[in-house]
Copies of this chain bind each other. A is one copy, B any other.
Amino acid sequence: MKLPPRVKVVEVGPRDGLQNEKHPVPIEVKVAFIDALTAAGHTEIEASSFVSAKWIPQLGDAAEVFARIKRRSGTTHTALVPNEKGLESALAAGVRRIAVFTAASETFNKKNTNATIAESLEKFARVLARALAEGLTVRGYLSTCFGCPYEGAVDPSRVEEVTGALLGLGCDEVSISDTIGVADPLQVDALLGRLAARFGVERLAVHFHDTRGTALANVLAALQLGVTTIDASAGGLGGCPFAPGAAGNLATEDLLYMLHRMGVQTGVDIEGVVAASRLVAGALHHAPTSKYLQAGPPRA
């Protein structure tokens, strides 16, 4: 079994995780959480989203979060940016790397953002032109690549098409996302293999949800294809809006346990991430879903 020697873990807990948590988390807790993740050695942390507080009240304090978090050489704190207005706020907050997102499923994109995929891409053309001119770098998220809660199966050629469009606009990588946690490893092998052949594996990241328990198996399939950028959320923060009560994002601790034990380096300290997850857990009113966090390290 051939695996890459090193993987970059993109920590999405403070944004994708908290966005799906019901109880408002105080800014002091958010800042301490992000600082703990930074101290754990993460190289990329999606710290918040410059989206309207009307849509996502939990992340309405993005500017203040960016003003208060500690910086560390080697850690990039990124922000999700839905539109040009969000970009201006991100620029004002000193953000140097942003993320944009659209979906591979037309119905999902319409319901989630009230725009067609083509309309989203048009908007991103303007966002990216300005961002790149300002010297920022941009990551793309592509939702529902493995299945849609409304349409069911998603055509891989559509995933390929929208991935190409995001890269063409100037995203340096696209995170191929299993938004509702339905993917299986064979599907990952087929879809990521296809995208890697077309665009190069170094321009692809994977973003799995553990809704039905398959996230780490999907990671293994991606690693075997040479994928070296993997999204994860500390503690497994963030449920699944389409399966209430179910697990959401792949937990960073579970990912790190598997990678490190296989000798795949990340530079991130697993116990530092556990400490960060514990720190935010009290504000969430539920236990984190990370299995490693519950079990702890092997006793001997």
Residue numbers of A with Cβ under 8 A of B are 1, 3, 147-152, 180-182, 184-187, 189, 210-214, 216-217, 219-221, 224, 240, 242-243, 245-247, 251, 254, 257-258, 261-263, 290-292, 294-296, 298-300
Contacts and interface: CB of A to CB of B under 8 A. Distances in A.
B1 A213 contact: no
A152 B300 contact: yes
Nearest to A243: B295
A294 B185 contact: no
Number of copies: 2
B243 A213 contact: no
Nearest to A254: B213
Nearest to A250: B213
21 contacts: A148-B300, A149-B298, A149-B300, A184-B261, A185-B262, A186-B263, A187-B262, A210-B213, A212-B257, A212-B291, A212-B292, A214-B216, A214-B254, A214-B257, A214-B258, A216-B217, A217-B219, A217-B220, A246-B294, A247-B294, A247-B295
Contact of A186 (B149, B240, B262, B296): B262
B243 A296 contact: yes
Nearest to A219: B217
A298 B251 contact: no
A66 to B, nearest CB: 32
A211 B295 contact: yes
A291 to B, nearest CB: 4
A212 B295 contact: yes
Nearest to A240: B295
Given A212-B291, A213-B257, A257-B214, A298 B185 contact: no
Contacts of A261: 182, 184, 186-187
A291 B210 contact: yes
A298 B153 CA distance: 10
Contacts of A186: 1, 3, 261-263
A148 B247 CA distance: 29
Contacts of A296: 243, 246
Contacts of A243: 294-296, 299
B213 A216 contact: yes
Contact of A221 (B1, B151, B292, B300): B1
A156 B158 CA distance: 46
A252 B152 CA distance: 24
A286 to B, nearest CB: 13
Instruction: Across the A-B interface, give the 8 residue pairs with the lowest CB-CB distance, nearest first.
Output: A246-B295, A152-B300, A213-B254, A213-B291, A184-B261, A186-B262, A243-B295, A216-B217
